[in-house]
Amino acid sequence: MAENGQSSADAHPKVESPVSASIPGTVPPQPEPEISVNFLSSYASLIDPNEGTELRYIPTMVVNGIKCARITKLDVKSEISYWQNAILCSVLGANPPLEVMKGFLKCIWSGFELEKILLVKRGVFLIRFIHVQDKITVERKGVCYFDNKPLIIKSWNPKMDLQIGKISFLPLWVQFPDLDIKYWGVDSLSKIRSILGIRIKIDKYLKGKMGIKYASNAY
């Protein structure tokens, strides 16, 4: 109750909040926005978590103070099985771009199912067939040519590096420009070829006596 005839309003005077005066033509100050900073711990956090395969941590071995990864035959068994259908290709004397090589290989091997055509290093391509029999057939077909340059083919195996390596044998077509037709017989060609090396076969034009411009032999 109020005492001495004073009202409750007089006993507890109302305190008004200060009013900020604004100057005409000015923009009243706005509260500063809160800035949320998220620090990324590593580059891995930038990658989509659904992308790729997550690797697990496996304790390493320490040999002479050096950390080493011990990889067993079981670790590589599935990859060896997968790449058994693969071959390595290289064009001798040329370095075609990947897209050009893709078009060339798909054209000459149009009857086979190619799964991957990869550039593994300069001038060396890795081709995987879906069926292992297709790979075997391609290996046995003989030499192909890219822009008159031989295409070298080697079957991939677990003990080789991704390179063609040293070439010890390479079949080549040898042309005899303006060779007179009287020398197109097997006996004459056999004597001529003996100067160069071991002849494998003659081409279909010489065999059919149709190569008037030149005769060809494969060595």
Residue-wise pLDDT tens digits, 80-136? 999 999 999 999 889 999 999 999 999 999 999 999 999 988 889 999 999 999 999
The mean pLDDT of 198-215, rounded to a whole number, is 52
Mark residue 65 as left, alpha or beta (left: phi above 0; alpha: psi -120 to 50; beta: remaining). left
Which numeric CATH code is attached to 76-155?
3.30.70.330
Residues with Cβ within 8 Å of 200's Cβ and at least 6 positions away in sequence, in order, are 171, 218, 219
Across the range 1-19, mean pLDDT stands at 51
Report the pLDDT value the prediction gives residue 86, as an integer from 0 to 100: 94
Q: Which of 19-33, 122-136, 205-219 has the highest mean pLDDT?
A: 122-136
Q: Where are the domains of the chain?
A: 76-155, 173-218
3-state DSSP assignment of residue 4:
coil
- The greatest distance separating any two alpha carbons of the chain, rounded to the nearest whole angstrom, comes to 149
Count how many Cα atoms sit within 13 Å of the Cα of residue 3 in the half-sphere of its side chain: 0
Residues 138-173 pLDDT 10s: 988 877 889 888 898 888 888 877 665 565 556 666
Between 192 and 120, the more confident residue is 120
Task: Report yes or no: 120 and 140 within 8 Å, Cβ to Cβ.
Answer: no
